[in-house]
Amino acid sequence: MTEKSFILKPNTHTLENGSVTWSSPSNIALVKYWGKKQHQIPENPSISFTLDNCKTITNLTYASKDSRSGFSFDVFLDGEQKDSFKSKIETFFKRIEQYVPFLKDYHFIIKTSNTFPHSSGIASSASGMSALALCLMSIEKELSEDISEEFFKQKASFLARLGSGSACRSVEGDLIVWGSHKAIVGSSDLFGVKYPYNVHQNFKNYQDTILLVDKGEKQVSSTVGHNLMHNHPFATRRFEQAHKNMSQLMNVFENGDLDAFVNIVESEALTLHAMMMTSLPYFILMKPNTLEIINKIWSYRNTNNSKVCFTLDAGANVHVLYPENEKDSVLEFIKNELVVYCQNGQYICDQIGFGAKQLIDE
Ligand code: DP6
What sign does the CA torsion over 115, 119, 122, 126 have? positive
**Where do the domains of the chain lie?**
3-197, 207-351
For ligand 1, the distance from its centroid to the CA atom of residue 33, given in whole angstroms, is 6
Residues with beta carbon inside 6 Å of ligand 1?
Answer: 29, 32-34, 40, 46, 123, 125, 164-166, 222-223, 226, 272, 313-314
pLDDT of residue 362: 64
Atom of ligand 1 nearest to the CA of 40: 5
Q: Quote the CA–CA distance of 329 and 303 in Å, as a whole number.
A: 13
Q: Ligand 1 test: best mutation among 226, 273, 279, most atoms within 8 Å of CB?
A: 226
Q: Quote the CA–CA distance of 282 and 43 in Å, as a whole number.
A: 20
For ligand 1, the distance from its centroid to the CA atom of residue 220, given in whole angstroms, is 12
Task: Name 150's Cβ contacts closer than 8 Å, sequence gap at least 6.
Answer: none
Which regions of the chain does DSSP assign to beta strands (E)?
Answer: 17-31, 36-37, 41-42, 46-64, 72-77, 80-81, 106-114, 175-178, 192-194, 207-211, 309-312, 318-322, 347-351, 357-359
For ligand 1, the distance from its centroid to the CA atom of residue 314, given in whole angstroms, is 8
Nearest to 82 by CA among 53, 58, 49: 58
Q: Quote the CA–CA distance of 258 and 266 in Å, as a whole number.
A: 12
What angle (nearest 5°) sits at the alpha carbon of residue 317, between those of residues 43 and 255?
A: 60
pLDDT of residue 14: 84
For ligand 1, the distance from its centroid to the CA atom of residue 222, given in whole angstroms, is 6
What sign does the CA torsion over 174, 208, 189, 87 have? positive
For ligand 1, the distance from its centroid to the CA atom of residue 285, given in whole angstroms, is 14
pTM: 0.97
Task: Name 217's Cβ contacts closer than 8 Å, sequence gap at least 6.
Answer: none
DSSP designation for 293: H
Q: Which CATH superfamily is domain 207-351 in?
A: GHMP kinase, C-terminal domain (3.30.70.890)
State the Cα torsion 269-184-130-125 to the nearest 10°: 20
What angle (nearest 5°) sits at the alpha carbon of residue 88, between those of residues 150 and 211?
A: 80
Residue nearest to atom 5 of ligand 1 (CA): 165
- DSSP for 57-118? EEEEEEEE--GGG--EEEEEETTEE-GGGHHHHHHHHHHHTTT-GGGGGEEEEEEEEESSPT
Q: Ligand 1 test: best mutation among 24, 31, 33, most atoms within 8 Å of CB?
A: 33
Q: Which SS3 state, helix, strand or coil, does residue 332 take?
A: helix
Q: Quote the CA–CA distance of 194 and 153 in Å, as a whole number.
A: 11
State the Cα torsion 245-246-248-250 to the nearest 10°: 160
pLDDT of residue 158: 98
Q: Quote the CA–CA distance of 209 and 160 in Å, as a whole number.
A: 25
Residue 159's H or E segment, with its range, is helix 149-163
For ligand 1, the distance from its centroid to the CA atom of residue 247, given in whole angstroms, is 21
Q: Quote the CA–CA distance of 342 and 193 in Å, as a whole number.
A: 34
Nearest to 34 by CA among 200, 279, 297: 279
Residue nearest to atom 12 of ligand 1 (CA): 166
Residue nearest to atom 6 of ligand 1 (CA): 223
Atom of ligand 1 nearest to the CA of 169: 17
Atom of ligand 1 nearest to the CA of 167: 2
For ligand 1, the distance from its centroid to the CA atom of residue 6, given in whole angstroms, is 23
Q: Ligand 1 test: best mutation among 38, 41, 43, 222, most atoms within 8 Å of CB?
A: 222
Tens of pLDDT, residue by residue, the chain (362 residues): 898 889 887 777 788 999 999 999 999 999 999 999 999 999 999 999 999 999 999 999 999 999 999 999 999 999 999 999 999 999 999 999 999 999 999 999 999 999 987 766 677 899 999 999 999 999 999 999 789 999 999 999 999 999 999 999 999 999 999 999 999 999 999 999 999 999 999 999 999 999 999 977 778 888 899 999 999 999 999 999 999 999 999 999 999 999 999 999 999 999 999 999 999 999 999 999 999 999 999 999 999 999 999 999 999 999 999 999 999 999 999 999 999 999 999 999 999 999 999 998 76
Nearest to 334 by CA among 324, 321, 325: 321
pLDDT of residue 121: 66
CATH class of segment(s) 3-197: alpha beta
For ligand 1, the distance from its centroid to the CA atom of residue 308, given in whole angstroms, is 24
CB 312, CB 32: distance < 8 Å: no
Residue 254's H or E segment, with its range, is helix 235-255
pLDDT of residue 114: 95
